[in-house]
Structure 1
């Protein structure tokens, strides 16, 4: 059965959902969710994998990224720059010290996982990206306007009143429209990601997460991260997901040892096709964790 887990970093507390224990497990599967989602994004997959994890001695850990779900918000003067997530993951993995680790990221989580895998290959034995393929990029010509819009968005978000709902189901309806998912598919996310205060339901995530980035890499920089990933990796895309991922020929060519699979679903295909995605993850982990054992 899944249980809650809290991990104290030097600067904030991360929360998550867990099955097994890293110190006794052959391998830790670390799940990283997407922007404005939370650890429960992977609940159907975690529940499907529980029996396999028990049989094969795997540790499953899905965390709420900083400012999401039950994890602590960053300080008032911090606007969640992308690279800070990578530093969080490094401190997390340093603290829990798994025997082996495979990163599984969806959307923003895939961006974080790919960059971490490139920078710290000694900490990771495998990478699975779901509806994400390396860090976001744009042309250098956009840098000045990116900075301007990013700074202005910080002022706008801080002045904007937070959204509230009459019921938890109203919050669910909002996400159903935005993500094209059913209430049943979304409820684990909604239950973990909302709270009741003064008769209204509110999102738990930090409103500052909606601020625009003040910096993005160039495509050349993004490709350098993907080219640096030397170990096996799996790319899972939805057949109704983001078309720019399907058409990212240069990025796919930059990835060595990558296997691509398309499943039914949109950007949250890991929720819509959770059983198939669970099977893909289990096969990948089983194959590559055994390969690591043979190499040691």
Structure 2
């Protein structure tokens, strides 16, 4: 298996348990960056950065259930820990089969959460880490565990009841992109970019190809004490990039991040939660400075 750019830079990676799709930009003789996207996004979220980080080869995967990647089998509820297994298998394949160990992991939002948790547990497998609008696994009070479990199961039952119903079909992608724009306030051009990869064409229009289970509540969330224990003595050299208009909880957690990470740089850049798309020039400059220091 080799990383070869197919038409439109599309790639497919066969992992032992699932098949992932993705995009590959840059020459194979350059250091490899493994890019991990956020929840309900896909590999194309790193297209803007790829136009600036030309000193690197960038492999951006679609997480399972996103973009062109395979859905997880069965109809059971999903959990964030599943992504840690995906990342571990992916790094193993890249390192030992493709012979291209990533020089750095770059993760946005969910992708950053997964990369950070993975690097905390397996520091020897990660050389450098860039977190964009992300820090650690989400956590909540243990007092909410019963309600979370009840709500998750209720939502999953509703999902199972709708599986036999036909998929919602849109006349064209623009309608779906506008719907995401109104819901999230993400710039329309980026909504169009992400939506195109998350949909499939039908004779009568387009429909989502994303796994609908991605929108269901997780049945379990870690407590702070669990996250705190995981993130203690985080030794991987890390850059944390936050947006001036991003999630305020991230800025509030910076002091905690400095307690967790022994080698941490932080930088705030103009932009919202998707600043790696809307302000790719400045974000790429910060990444380049970090990786070449």
Same topology, TM > 0.5: yes
Match of 2:46? Answer: 42
1:286 and 2:292 matched = yes
> RMSD between aligned alpha carbons?
1.8
**1:192 equivalent among 185, 193, 197:** 197
Question: Following TM superposition, by how much is the alpha carbon of 1:113 offset from its aligned partner in structure 2, in angstroms?
Answer: 0.4
Q: Following the alignment from structure 2 to structure 1, what is the Cα–Cα distance between the partners of residues 184 and 53?
A: 24
Secondary structure at the aligned position of 2:51 is classed as helix
| Mapped contact 1:134–1:225 kept (Cα < 8 A) | no
Question: Following TM superposition, by how much is the alpha carbon of 1:181 offset from its aligned partner in structure 2, in angstroms?
Answer: 2.5
Deviation by residue 1:171-220 (Cα, 9 ceiling, x = unmatched): 11011112323322333212211112241321221001111101111112
Q: Following the alignment from structure 2 to structure 1, what is the Cα–Cα distance between the partners of residues 27 and 115?
A: 21
1:222 and 2:220 matched = no
1:274 and 2:271 matched = no
Write out aligned runs for 1:1-296 (5 A). 3-20=9-26, 24-25=29-30, 27-50=31-54, 52-53=55-56, 59-97=57-95, 98-160=100-162, 162-248=167-253, 249-287=255-293
Question: Which sections of structure 2, spanning at least 5 residues, go unmatched?
Answer: none
In 2 relative to 1, CA 148–65 (structure 1 residues): closer, same or farther, beyond 3 Å?
same
Question: Following TM superposition, by how much is the alpha carbon of 1:255 offset from its aligned partner in structure 2, in angstroms?
Answer: 2.1
In 2 relative to 1, CA 165–138 (structure 1 residues): closer, same or farther, beyond 3 Å?
same
Q: Following the alignment from structure 2 to structure 1, what is the Cα–Cα distance between the partners of residues 229 and 131?
A: 17
Q: Following the alignment from structure 1 to structure 2, what is the Cα–Cα distance between the partners of residues 181 and 144?
A: 33
Moved over 6 A (4+): none
Secondary structure at the aligned position of 2:201 is classed as strand
- My pick for the range that moved more, 32-41 or 237-246, is 237-246
Question: Following TM superposition, by how much is the alpha carbon of 1:147 offset from its aligned partner in structure 2, in angstroms?
Answer: 1.1
Deviation by residue 1:124-160 (Cα, 9 ceiling, x = unmatched): 0111111111000001111111111111111122334
Matched residue pairs, number? 279
Question: Which sections of structure 1, spanning at least 5 residues, go unmatched?
Answer: 54-58, 288-296
Q: Following the alignment from structure 1 to structure 2, what is the Cα–Cα distance between the partners of residues 200 and 252?
A: 49
Q: Following the alignment from structure 1 to structure 2, what is the Cα–Cα distance between the partners of residues 189 and 220?
A: 35
Q: Following the alignment from structure 2 to structure 1, what is the Cα–Cα distance between the partners of residues 238 and 168?
A: 39
Secondary structure at the aligned position of 1:164 is classed as coil
Q: Following the alignment from structure 1 to structure 2, what is the Cα–Cα distance between the partners of residues 101 and 109?
A: 16
